[in-house]
Amino acid sequence: MVAKKNMWFPSNYVEEVTPPVSDTSPESGLLGDLQKGSIDLIHCSCDIIPGGKGIQLFVFSIVSPTLHQTLEIATQSRFELDDWVQTIRKISYRAGERTRDAQKRERRLRIAKEFSDLIVYCRSVTFREDAIPGKYYEMSSFPETKVERFQTTLRRYNMTQLSRTYPKGQRIDSSNYEPTLMWNCGCQMVSLNYQTPDRPMQLNEGLFQMNGRCGYLLQPESMRSENYDPIDKRTLQGVDAIHLTVDIIGGRHLRKAGRGLISPFIEVEIVGAEYDSRNKFKTATIVDNGFNPVFKESCEFDILNPEFAFIRFVVQDEDMFGDPNFIGQATYPLRAIRSGYRSVPLKNGYSEPLELSSLLVKIDVRVIGASDESAIYDSISVLRERTQILEKNVSELKAEDVQYNMRCMELERCQEKLFELQEMRRKQQLRKTPSNKQASWLR
């Protein structure tokens, strides 16, 4: 009770500690009892005070990183003053040299020479069109505007060197450029504004889903050909064009962030090379049913370069004013698509999964030329190109122009013929069994 009242510790938990006795023997310092401290002369500065200080005529100061104040020392003569200053400066310089040498030796010891020989560092250089091909370790950076001017030249550059592209400075809203152009030119590092959940970032996330999401992808074989041109479809070698049919059956749990019913519709588009990126399809709107809407619509696409194409599903909500509002999306490389019934999980703008939201589709991939439908395909391809040209001409002309009506009539005839050929090909496909030939990128 006494120990508890006086707050004493039990004797078996207490040990008497004797304070250490300072070593004051002459061997403890160079000056024995006369030595009261020391100054670290590494990186210190020593300066003579002109005119001295007070009654002392010969005074110098020492400023050391370890001291919090300046130390001033007086001598008896000018000769002694100069000798002190020169000696301190010499010692400080030698101490600094020894420290730097020790740091260099330490850095060398940390890196194994065998490992260092395996590393190739890239050196940033200014792009010169007349210096292609350059050295393999030289890398250049390109703004998006420069890539648009040097598409063919940049393709030759990327066959032997690395390149990096980045958004132009005018994008103060952190928007992104279309990365497919840069990828199609062979650019290895395509910089994007990751904070912006837009279509380019979703294409980037879709591309790098492949190869286990490790961040590295091998370029298609066709892009490594010397004759390859990113804007000329005639330079494609060893690539099988495909006919893609997508049946959009329905969806489930399509919901918006807040409460309320939605009226969803689906957009399906092909994104890739310039000659494959004009294909887009839109379903009808299902009014006030986002829980289990049924669409039962079909769309068809002809893709010349499927090794470098994406299929993109976008779910939109049509509001009371007829304006679309983004609900979810799913973007996949065509190289990762297989035929059959597929459930397509939807993601938000940042490519994060939306719980339970998905689409049910049926996909059919056919190689064009595997059967006798290649002639029909050639005609369809020609009519599509002509239709696109006529649509552009009509949009540029005014209604009172002489050629306006002529272009409209020609456009209508091309669209009718195109529809007839597409129906003819669809009937032929229904009568045939699926071809055993697989596209080169599916083997």
Kindly report the CA angle at 323 between 317 and 325, in degrees rounded to 5?
Answer: 40
- Cβ burial of 217 (10 Å; 0-12, 13-18, 19+) is middle
Distance of CA 300 to the CA centre of its chain: 31
Q: Which residues contact 106 (CB under 8 A, 6 or more apart)?
A: none
Query: Tell me: the pLDDT tens digits for 345-397?
Result: 999 999 999 999 999 999 998 887 655 455 555 566 666 677 777 777 777 77
- Count other Cβ atoms within 10 Å, centred on residue 234: 8
pLDDT band at 27 (very low <50, low <70, confident <90, very high): very low
Query: Tell me: the pLDDT tens digits for 202-238?
Result: 999 999 998 888 888 888 888 888 888 888 888 888 8
pLDDT band at 70 (very low <50, low <70, confident <90, very high): confident
* 376's tokens: 């029909």
* 114's tokens: 């065998």
**What pLDDT shows up at residue 156?**
87
Q: Please choose, from the candidates 228, 362, 193, the residue with its C-alpha nearest in 3D space to the C-alpha of residue 307.
A: 228
Query: Tell me: the pLDDT tens digits for 233-275?
Result: 888 888 888 888 999 999 999 998 878 889 999 999 999 888 8
**What pLDDT shows up at residue 26?**
44
- Cβ burial of 280 (10 Å; 0-12, 13-18, 19+) is middle
**What pLDDT shows up at residue 430?**
55
Contact criterion met (CB below 8 Å) for 306 and 334: yes
Given a cut of 70, whether residue 282 has pLDDT beyond it is yes
pLDDT (mean) for 122-145: 87
